[in-house]
Amino acid sequence: MSSGRILVVQHEDQCPPAWFGEWLIAAGHDLDVRRPYAGDDLPIGLSAHDGLLVLGGTMNAHDDATCPWLTDVKGLVRNAAGNDVPTLGICLGHQLITVALGGSVVPNPRGQQLGLTATGWHPEVDEDPLFREVGRPPRAVQWNSDIVEQLPGGAQALASTPDGDVQVARFTSTIWGVQMHPEADEHVVAPWAAHDRPLHPGGVVDAAVAAVTAARDELALSWRPLAEAFGRRAAVSRD
């Protein structure tokens, strides 16, 4: 089996592929990281790539006017759906997939989610071709202000937060999204915390960072299998 060449769309300096990229590279995959906010072009299609990974960012999934590359990312998602290219969206990426395929994303009426969140797996996860290889990680990092209001037709929620918000979804047989940040450790969330600290009372943000720090080993052990399983699907698509 050959390794896969994976297109990675990064939206901001402070939202890198981090752990996820390290795990994919360690598994032998070639990452083509594009930073359109810094002037990188995005391909029109995915014929030169075996997988698509769309990362997070502080912008909204509808901010095409101020972040015009978002329109192109949505086009790539639809291209991936039409050509069965393995695709994974993380946080904003998950929301962009939702919008691109006909669902809706809104600001969370309960406010920002940050820190460690329990993962509410649905029974359907055991039949999912990607996540059945991952197991059921009990916790994940979430750092988001928007949520998926409605999944596109045909999509399946695989996990939900305690409040009932979509955490993990399968959109097609080759496209998935996660609202959480499987790529993030305490170093990744540190600049997010610095930005959001004025928005929260007391030590809420510092407590969230402390929890992520304490769970570092658990998170790495829990979520590395997702990167490896996604990479295998990209490699299979090349073969």
What amino acid positions are annotated as catalytic residues?
91, 181, 183
Q: What is the DSSP letter of 38?
A: G
Quick one: which of 23, 31, 24, 96 has its CA closest to 59?
96
Residue 135: Cβ within 10 Å count: 15
Decide: 143 and 89 in contact? Cβ < 8 Å. Answer: no
Q: Is 126 helix (H, G, I), strand (E, B) or coil?
A: helix
Outline where the chain has alpha helix (H): 18-26, 69-83, 92-100, 186-196, 204-214, 216-238
